[in-house]
Amino acid sequence: MIDPSSIEAPMTPTLCLTGGGHASVVIDAASLQGEVTITAILDDDDTALGATRYGVPVIATLEHLEAMPEQGFHQFILGLGGTDAPGGARQREALFDRAWKAGLEPVTIIHPRSIIAGGVFIGGGSAVLAGAILNPRSRVGVNAIINSGAIVEHDVRVGDHAHVAPGAILCGGVSIGSRAHVGAGAVIRQGLSIGDDAVIAAGAVVVRDVPVGAVMMGTPAAPVARAAGEAA
């Protein structure tokens, strides 16, 4: 592990957990937000130790996560992106919970070029990225991703650890369950409910409620059977 005291930290030191592609997006959004400085990355790739990713040093592997408060870190964001792969959202949830239990506070990232109506609630550790729109009385849970260009209309509820992918549209009154994934460019008709752990494929048009754990694809969206052994 690299000595964190060697890192210049003009604001409260904040960790980014994992350093993949999504990390580059949240690190950039944080720098533009101006209230958060990402000063170090923990990654699950031990070959990255000592490297710099997106201008931020990789100081340790994730096995050192629980030691980070003793090293002066008290905040974190997840660089682990949302995915439609089986179990992907649960990996994000597990890493979020692990950091929280270690004593780190989740940081909420709001890109300055997103549009957020007054009175919208956004839970801790969530990321609202460039071009996203959240309209009145919408509510986003903890550790959710409202990705680039997504539209969250009035009175929508997005559950904890859910991912609304780029360009997806949630019409008024939609409810998205915990850990659900709404794929890029998908459209959810007004007033519908998407169950926990459900996956809506990219480009799908959903015209009826979706049960817990279902995988939906097509226009109109229809259920697709999971392969044997796949978990939600």
Joined together, the tokens standing for residue 140 give 């986003």
CA distance 177 to 26: 23
CA distance 100 to 121: 20
Phi/psi of residue 125, nearest 5 degrees: 80, 0
CA distance 178 to 198: 9
CA distance 107 to 157: 20
Catalytic residue of the set 154, 161, 163, 181: 154
Residue 161 is a catalytic residue: no
* 157: region left, alpha or beta (phi > 0 left; psi from -120 to 50 alpha): beta
Query: 37 - beta bridge partners?
Result: 13
Q: Is residue 114 within 8 Å of residue 140, measured between CB atoms? A: no
CA distance 30 to 59: 19
Query: 106 - beta bridge partners?
Result: 76
Q: Which residues are catalytically annotated?
A: 154
